[in-house]
């Protein structure tokens, strides 16, 4: 620690980082696990394999992954348009991407519900084809796509802006068609950022509550998500059960995010 | 393959980038498009490549007599080296070089073995043997440039186009690569067109120099001719060190510093010479540079050899007689 450093403030900033991590992340999480530990292993296990929790977990992680995947595809296209083309209204469109960040999620939820409900603008149309959007797992998926999408765009944007048109032109000069250029040059170069965007959208979707509870209908075993299950446990003053579900959710999320991280490292390493 | 550019126009909105450009690039030549930024040289290169399109209804671009205006870039058999090389970052050097061969339609695509051999051959040609598995970000600027060149050559182009090929390199590497490229061109004999804003580069490297300015061609010719017989004041000034002498009775006279003869003041011949006073002397280099003030108050830069300087034994403040070249030149 007695090494001299050119950049000042190492002690101060490290101290701040540790305090921040402790106060805002580690201590609350520790408290959560402590609460959950109040129950024995057997109770943990019984709670977690109960049909209702399993169904909610399947919906939460499944819909989140699917929504993050769709966000990645749509986000790629939208980013492409925003970065590569100049058209009137581009800046406005660019600013609109961030709306799901700023909008209170409840507002988003209510709005989406109104539109996708069987008598809503889009919902009525979908209903003609026998598709039920609101109050179904599909509704959960729609809401999660809505909140995850900006993460993908904002992660990809700087990367796409960074690699210049030259690279694509070089591919074209070498005889590659449009599709080959996208598949062999553009997508591989974007992949690391795309995975990051996917991860962020995925993480956000797992924890999402506000926008989902309105559109999902919250039918146990059918359209109930884990965060809602936790809240309903709390409302019944079953705090330990809520803590157990939350802890398990945290552990699973952490493992998922960590493995995506490893995958990304591996991709990166393979490219060195 | 010869390139013939015939009355090409290009406008971006209301901005004229190329105004009626016609140019012949002889087969096997090394031609430089030289000009300041905004002169249209890069636009012209990109139009020849097919990366940009000339205004509709404007002229033709012939490759060996065949109009290629409507041929897409990828089918023109043109090798293009971008200013920043535009290498594929996620591919190895070998994959970069092989790219143009691997994207060929199945019936034209060489076997994997043939591609490997071609890559090795090209790596050897650009003096990068053994670097096939490196990534672009592990290479120096000069090496990247040669990878870009090898990648462009892999498709056996009929024409090679280089956009500011040395622009992103530092001075020493730039000089080395310049010499190397000249020798390289003479070896493979590919018709080459390159863009530069550096007059030294154009004069040293090219067999034909095209000086461009404000969307038009100012002069075309071999380097020697461009340097010795500039046709316009712009070309005179753009091609480096020149003194502009105001003449009250006619157009300004342009004189290069080395064209001025320096004599003892005692040898002054009023009918031919001008009198001047040495203001500054710079002798740290292969030639000595003098800054002198003429009798009418104008300043001139003069270059003489170190030997001449010693013979004249000049110091600052001395009077000298200057023999200026005759003014009747083009």
Q: Residue B327: its pLDDT value, please?
A: 64
Is the ipTM above a cut-off of 0.90? no
> Are residues A173 and B103, on separate chains, in Cβ contact within 8 Å?
no
pTM higher than 0.80 for the full model? no
* Nearest-Cα residue of chain A relative to residue B48: A173
Contacts of B103 in chain A (CB under 8 A): 171, 174-177, 180, 184
How far off is chain B from A145, nearest CA to CA, in Å? Answer: 30
* Domain contains A25: no
Pairwise CA distance, residues A157 & A82, whole Å: 8
Q: Residue A133: its pLDDT value, please?
A: 84
* Domain contains B79: yes
How many Cβ pairs closer than 8 A exist between chain A and B? 67
> Are residues A177 and B74, on separate chains, in Cβ contact within 8 Å?
yes
* Nearest-Cα residue of chain B relative to residue A267: B90
> Are residues A173 and B74, on separate chains, in Cβ contact within 8 Å?
yes
How far off is chain B from A241, nearest CA to CA, in Å? Answer: 48
Give the single-character DSSP code of B165: T
Last residue of a domain, one of B220, B237, B254: B237
CB nearest to A180's CB, from B75, B80, B103 = B103
Q: In the predicted model, is pLDDT for residue A272 greater than 60?
A: no
How far off is chain A from B3, nearest CA to CA, in Å? Answer: 17
Q: Do both B146 and B196 map to the same domain?
A: yes
How far off is chain A from B47, nearest CA to CA, in Å? Answer: 12
- Percent of chain A at pLDDT > 90 equals 35
How far off is chain B from A74, nearest CA to CA, in Å? Answer: 23
Mutation for B interface: A162, A168, A175, most B CBs within 10 A: A175
CB nearest to B103's CB, from A169, A175, A272 = A175
Structure tokens, B253: 């006279």
Contacts of B160 in chain A (CB under 8 A): none
* Domain contains B120: yes
* Domain contains A4: no
- Quick: pLDDT tens for A207-246: 899 889 988 888 888 889 999 999 999 999 888 889 999 9
Structure tokens, B118: 């071609």
Q: Residue A35: its pLDDT value, please?
A: 86
* Nearest-Cα residue of chain B relative to residue A191: B90
CB nearest to A173's CB, from B80, B84, B135 = B80
Query: How far, in whole angstroms, is CA B144 from its chain's centroid?
Result: 20
Q: Do both B107 and B179 map to the same domain?
A: yes
Q: How many CB atoms lie within 10 A of CB A252?
A: 15
Q: Residue B271: its pLDDT value, please?
A: 80
> Are residues A164 and B88, on separate chains, in Cβ contact within 8 Å?
no
Q: Do both B231 and B292 map to the same domain?
A: no
Quick one: which of B139, B181, B140 has its CA closest to B164?
B181
The number of folded domains in chain A is 1
* Owner of token pair 């109770």: A43
* Owner of token pair 């009918």: B271
Q: Residue B8: its pLDDT value, please?
A: 92
Q: Residue A2: its pLDDT value, please?
A: 60
Pairwise CA distance, residues A127 & A110, whole Å: 19
* Domain contains B165: yes
* Nearest-Cα residue of chain A relative to residue B153: A174
* Domain contains A116: yes
> Are residues A174 and B78, on separate chains, in Cβ contact within 8 Å?
no
Last residue of a domain, one of B205, B237, B269: B237
- DSSP, collapsed to helix, strand or coil, labels residue B163 as strand
Q: Do both B32 and B145 map to the same domain?
A: yes
Please answer whether residues A221 and A51 qualify as being in contact, where contact means their C-beta atoms are separated by less than 8 angstroms: yes
CATH code, domain with A74 = 1.10.3720.10
Q: Residue B330: its pLDDT value, please?
A: 40
Domain with A223, as residue range(s), is: 38-270
* Domain contains A21: no
Q: Do both B218 and B262 map to the same domain?
A: no
Quick one: which of B232, B309, B214, B233 has its CA closest to B264?
B309
- Quick: pLDDT tens for A238-255: 888 899 999 999 898 889
Contacts of B165 in chain A (CB under 8 A): none
> Are residues B86 and A167, on separate chains, in Cβ contact within 8 Å?
yes
* Domain contains A151: yes
Q: How many CB atoms lie within 10 A of CB A188?
A: 16
* Domain contains B330: no
Q: Do both B91 and B207 map to the same domain?
A: yes
Q: Do both B16 and B74 map to the same domain?
A: yes
CATH code, domain with B262 = 2.40.50.140
Structure tokens, B300: 């001139």
Q: Do both B35 and B114 map to the same domain?
A: yes
* Domain contains A83: yes
Q: Do both B247 and B141 map to the same domain?
A: no
How far off is chain B from A195, nearest CA to CA, in Å? Answer: 15
CA-based R_g, chain B, Å: 25
The number of folded domains in chain B is 2
* Nearest-Cα residue of chain B relative to residue A183: B103
Q: Residue B129: its pLDDT value, please?
A: 92
- Spatial neighbors of B131 by CB under 8 A, at least 6 apart, are B93, B123, B139, B143
* Domain contains A248: yes
Q: Do both B77 and B157 map to the same domain?
A: yes
Query: If interface means Cβ-Cβ distance under 8 Å, which residues of chain A face chain B?
Result: 163-164, 166-167, 169-177, 180, 184-185, 188-189, 271-272
Contacts of B86 in chain A (CB under 8 A): 164, 166-167, 169-170
Structure tokens, B142: 């000069």
Question: What sign for the dihedral angle of Cα A122, A126, A127, A132?
Answer: negative
CB nearest to A166's CB, from B75, B84, B151 = B84
Give the single-character DSSP code of A221: T
Quick one: which of A210, A206, A221 has its CA closest to A254?
A206
Tell me the pLDDT of chain B (330 aa) as tens digits: 899 999 999 999 889 999 999 999 999 999 999 999 889 999 999 999 999 999 887 889 999 888 998 898 989 999 999 998 999 988 999 999 999 999 998 888 999 999 999 999 999 988 899 998 999 989 998 899 999 999 999 999 999 999 998 887 888 888 888 888 888 898 888 999 999 998 888 998 999 999 999 999 999 999 999 988 889 889 988 887 888 888 777 778 888 888 888 888 888 888 878 888 999 888 888 888 889 998 888 888 898 888 888 888 888 888 888 888 876 544
Contacts of A167 in chain B (CB under 8 A): 86-88
> Are residues B155 and A172, on separate chains, in Cβ contact within 8 Å?
no
Last residue of a domain, one of B219, B237, B255: B237
> Are residues A174 and B75, on separate chains, in Cβ contact within 8 Å?
no
How far off is chain B from A98, nearest CA to CA, in Å? Answer: 30
How far off is chain A from B101, nearest CA to CA, in Å? Answer: 8
Separation in Å, CA B80 to CA A169, A258, B91, B92, B140:
9, 43, 19, 19, 20
* Domain contains B213: yes
Contacts of A169 in chain B (CB under 8 A): 51, 73, 80, 82, 86
* Domain contains B329: no
For chain B, strand residue ranges (E) read 3-12, 15-25, 30-34, 60-63, 66-67, 78-81, 159-163, 191-196, 208-213, 216-221, 243-245, 253-255, 261-264, 273-282, 287-294, 299-305, 319-323
Structure tokens, A53: 């929790």
Mean per-residue pLDDT for A189-194? 88
CA-based R_g, chain A, Å: 22
Q: In the predicted model, is pLDDT for residue A267 greater than 80?
A: no
Q: How confident is the model at residue A270 (pLDDT cuts 50, 70, 90)?
A: low
Q: Do both B44 and B114 map to the same domain?
A: yes
* Domain contains A16: no
Q: Do both B308 and B295 map to the same domain?
A: yes
> Are residues B86 and A177, on separate chains, in Cβ contact within 8 Å?
no
CB nearest to A189's CB, from B51, B79, B90 = B90
Q: Residue B255: its pLDDT value, please?
A: 86
Domain with B202, as residue range(s), is: 3-237
CB nearest to B90's CB, from A173, A177, A188 = A188
Please answer whether residues A159 and A75 qualify as being in contact, where contact means their C-beta atoms are separated by less than 8 angstroms: no
- DSSP, collapsed to helix, strand or coil, labels residue B81 as strand
Quick one: which of A77, A89, A81, A215 has its CA closest to A149?
A77
């Amino acid at each position: 620690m007695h090494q001299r450093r050119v950049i000042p403030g190492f002690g101060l900033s490290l101290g701040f980082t540790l305090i921040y991590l402790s106060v805002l992340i580690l201590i609350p999480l520790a408290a959560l696990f402590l609460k959950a530990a109040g129950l024995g292993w057997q109770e943990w296990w019984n709670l977690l394999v109960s049909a209702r929790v399993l169904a909610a977990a399947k919906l939460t992680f499944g819909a989140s992954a699917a929504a993050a995947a769709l966000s990645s595809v749509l986000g790629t296209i939208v980013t492409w348009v925003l970065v590569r083309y100049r058209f009137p209204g581009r800046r406005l469109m660019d600013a609109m991407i961030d709306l799901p960040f700023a909008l209170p999620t409840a507002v988003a939820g209510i709005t989406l519900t109104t539109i996708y409900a069987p008598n809503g603008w889009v919902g009525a149309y979908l209903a003609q084809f026998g598709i039920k959007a609101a109050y179904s797992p599909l509704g959960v998926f729609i809401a999660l796509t809505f909140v995850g999408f900006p993460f993908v765009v904002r992660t990809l944007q700087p990367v796409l802006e960074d690699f210049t048109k030259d690279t694509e032109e070089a591919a074209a000069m070498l005889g590659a068609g449009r599709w080959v250029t996208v598949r062999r040059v553009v997508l591989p170069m974007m992949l690391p950022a795309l995975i990051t965007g996917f991860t962020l959208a995925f993480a956000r979707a797992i924890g999402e509550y506000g926008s989902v509870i309105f559109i999902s209908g919250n039918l146990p075993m059918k359209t109930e998500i884990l965060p809602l299950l936790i809240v309903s446990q709390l409302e019944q003053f079953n705090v330990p059960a809520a803590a157990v579900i939350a802890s398990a959710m945290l552990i699973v999320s952490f493992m998922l995010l960590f493995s995506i991280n490893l995958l990304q490292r591996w991709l990166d390493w393979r490219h060195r | 393959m010869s390139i013939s550019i015939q009355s090409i126009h290009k406008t971006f909105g209301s901005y004229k980038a190329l105004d009626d450009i016609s140019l012949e690039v002889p087969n096997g030549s090394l031609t430089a498009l030289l000009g300041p930024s905004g002169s249209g040289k890069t636009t012209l290169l990109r139009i020849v490549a097919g990366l940009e399109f000339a205004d509709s209804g404007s002229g033709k671009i012939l490759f060996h007599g065949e109009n290629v205006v409507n041929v897409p870039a990828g089918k023109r058999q043109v090798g293009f080296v971008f200013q920043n090389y535009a290498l594929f970052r996620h591919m190895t050097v070998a994959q970069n070089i092989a790219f143009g061969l691997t994207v060929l339609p199945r019936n034209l695509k060489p076997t994997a073995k043939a591609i490997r051999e071609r890559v090795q051959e090209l790596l050897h040609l650009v003096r990068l043997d053994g670097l096939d598995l490196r990534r672009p970000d592990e290479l120096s600027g000069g090496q990247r440039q040669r990878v870009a060149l090898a990648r462009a050559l892999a498709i056996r182009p009929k024409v090679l186009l280089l956009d500011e090929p040395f622009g992103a390199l530092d001075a020493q590497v730039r000089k080395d690569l310049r010499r190397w490229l000249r020798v390289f061109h003479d070896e493979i004999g590919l018709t080459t067109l390159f863009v530069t804003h550096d007059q030294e580069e154009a004069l040293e490297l090219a067999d034909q120099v095209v000086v461009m300015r404000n969307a038009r061609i100012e002069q075309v010719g071999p380097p020697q001719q461009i340097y010795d017989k500039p046709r316009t004041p712009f070309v005179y000034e753009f091609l480096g060190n020149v003194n502009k002498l105001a003449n009250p009775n006619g157009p300004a006279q342009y004189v290069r510093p080395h064209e001025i003869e320096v004599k003892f003041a005692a040898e002054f011949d009023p009918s031919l010479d001008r009198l001047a006073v040495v203001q500054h002397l710079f002798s740290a280099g292969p030639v000595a540079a003098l800054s002198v003030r003429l009798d009418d108050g104008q300043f001139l830069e003069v270059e003489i050899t170190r030997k001449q300087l010693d013979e004249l034994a000049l110091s600052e403040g001395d009077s000298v007689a200057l023999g200026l070249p005759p003014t009747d030149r083009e």
